[in-house]
């Protein structure tokens, strides 16, 4: 894993029950040691798979615990030392963003990045001497171009996202 300030990792989830019932075929494979993904075009055996390299790759048998220790742990350590850090999950619906970020309590290895980060931060605070920490938390969702406050009593829309007419950000 390099020391760039922005790291991109890819995680592949297993086929779900619906996909298994439909006899879907896995078109993605990974060489996790080389951090490479290979995507085959179904029905095109003669074509070589498309190949992509990331800062990290996590296949169906790998856990959120592994991902956290390799990717998030160093970043959260930096945060407790006063550096800024951001982790976000990006992917189409059903791709496993909530599974990775929020996770499940059983098995414990699949506990999500968010609860792991909270435990990590508060353990570091407990162990620190002569340092005051201020922890602020908010929980927002951007869904259909609307920003919602998930900690609010009602899921109130607090902003609507807008695109800049020129640079489209
Ligand atoms: N690595 C994984 N191992 C096992 N199951 C997984 C994994 N990733 C995702 N899943 C399962 O796949 C399904 C879809 O995952 P999830 O709800 O996390 O997707 P999502 O990207 O958050 O979707 P949406 O954008 O619609 O909220 C869930 O049933 C989840 O338990």
Q: For the complex shown, is ipTM > 0.85?
A: yes
Q: What is the pLDDT of residues 34-75, one digit of tens each?
A: 999 999 998 888 899 999 999 999 999 999 999 999 999 999
For residue 141, what are the CA distances in angstroms to 1, 88, 91, 158? 30, 12, 14, 10
Determine if ligand 1 sits within 6 Å of the CB of residue 107. no
Residues 12 and 134: their CA atoms lie apart, in Å, by: 36
The pLDDT, as a whole number, for residue 64 is 98
Question: What are the counts of helices (DSSP H) followed by strands (DSSP E) for the chain?
Answer: 5, 8
Determine if ligand 1 sits within 6 Å of the CB of residue 144. no
For residue 138, what are the CA distances in angstroms to 73, 104, 128, 141, 149? 20, 21, 24, 10, 8
Determine if ligand 1 sits within 6 Å of the CB of residue 99. yes
Q: How far is the CA of 80 from the centre of ligand 1 (A)?
A: 29
Q: What is the pLDDT of residues 78-126, one digit of tens each?
A: 999 999 999 999 999 999 999 999 999 999 999 999 999 999 999 999 9
The pLDDT, as a whole number, for residue 44 is 87
């Amino acid at each position: 894993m390099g020391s760039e300030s922005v790291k991109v990792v890819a995680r592949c989830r297993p086929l779900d029950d619906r996909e298994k019932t439909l006899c879907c075929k896995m078109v993605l494979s990974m060489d996790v040691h080389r951090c490479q993904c290979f995507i085959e075009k179904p029905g095109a055996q003669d074509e070589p798979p498309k190949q992509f390299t990331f800062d990290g790759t996590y296949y169906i048998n790998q856990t959120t615990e592994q991902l956290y220790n390799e990717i998030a742990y160093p970043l959260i350590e930096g945060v407790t030392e006063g550096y800024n850090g951001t982790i976000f999950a990006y992917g189409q619906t059903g791709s496993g963003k909530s599974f990775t970020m929020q996770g499940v309590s059983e098995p414990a290895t699949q506990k999500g990045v968010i609860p792991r980060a909270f435990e990590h931060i508060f353990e570091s605070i407990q162990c620190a001497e002569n340092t005051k920490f201020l922890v602020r938390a908010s929980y927002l969702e951007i869904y259909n171009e609307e920003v919602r406050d998930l900690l609010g009593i009602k899921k109130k829309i607090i902003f609507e996202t807008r695109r800049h007419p020129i640079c489209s950000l």
